[in-house]
Structure 1
Amino acid sequence: MLINDIQDQLVEEFELMDDWMEKYEHIIHMGNELPPMDETLKTDNRLIRGCQSRVWLDAKEQNGILHFEADSDALITKGLISMVVRVLNNQPAKDIAAADLYFVDKIGLRSHLSSNRANGLASMIQQIKALAVHFNSAN
């Protein structure tokens, strides 16, 4: 599935919800659905800088396709990284590097998150895009 198709699917899910309490619950639920990250991968070099909570991200590349594992020690933040991983996982590095992640604004995340969480989300996206550029230039 293409990045924009996954983003559109995510936006549609959130459009079905009436209020932000319900949306926050859905974000937490998505975080709880994130596959567990191997504890040995939760190292300092995999921490995303700029997040108030601890967020770990691991990326592996296979034939130009990136595979991500992620986790966080905070419920909402774990839900946010799960959304980003859902959109960008198993995609070509070049597509990730060039992606416009419009779902963040269409869902209203930027305007409904605290400034610390919004900055953390931006850091997550920036880190994933930097990894994509790195893997893309390595090929």
Structure 2
Amino acid sequence: MSGFSELWLAMDTLIEFVSQSILVDSGAAMVLLATLPAVLFLKGDRTLRCSAVAMFAGAVALILLGVEGVIGAVVIVTAEVLVVSALMLAMRKRQAQLEASLDAARAAIRALEITEERRQVFSARAATEYTSSNLNQQEPVSQPFNTD
């Protein structure tokens, strides 16, 4: 049991050391926390996933280059704002394309409705003309019984 307690104590010491060195000595935690909203991009499409990974890599690069603290966090947040802006522009473009497609589909449906109405009117006229022409062309029926 003493081995387990020594391991537990060593792990507590390691966690305290890492947390103190990250939180107190450097602004790396602030830079890493600034990348937290980019986690939401990981559920998006390919472009968003790639931009989230690029932001994480940028945060690590900033930490390795020594740009930590508020300045590093501002750089990461600025990158996130740029990604969101690009996403909004892409969504607006896609929305315009969908609206154009929807308008084209509406126009095509309306054209089909007009064509169907014309076909029905033509069919009704043709049937009426055929019936009236047949009535005019028929010979009078002779009556077998003469009532005179």
TM-score for both structures, normalised by structure 1: 0.27
**Greater C-alpha Rg:** 2
TM-score for both structures, normalised by structure 2: 0.25
Specify which structure has the higher proportion of strand: 1
By relative contact order (CA 8 Å, sep 6+), the higher-ranking structure is 1
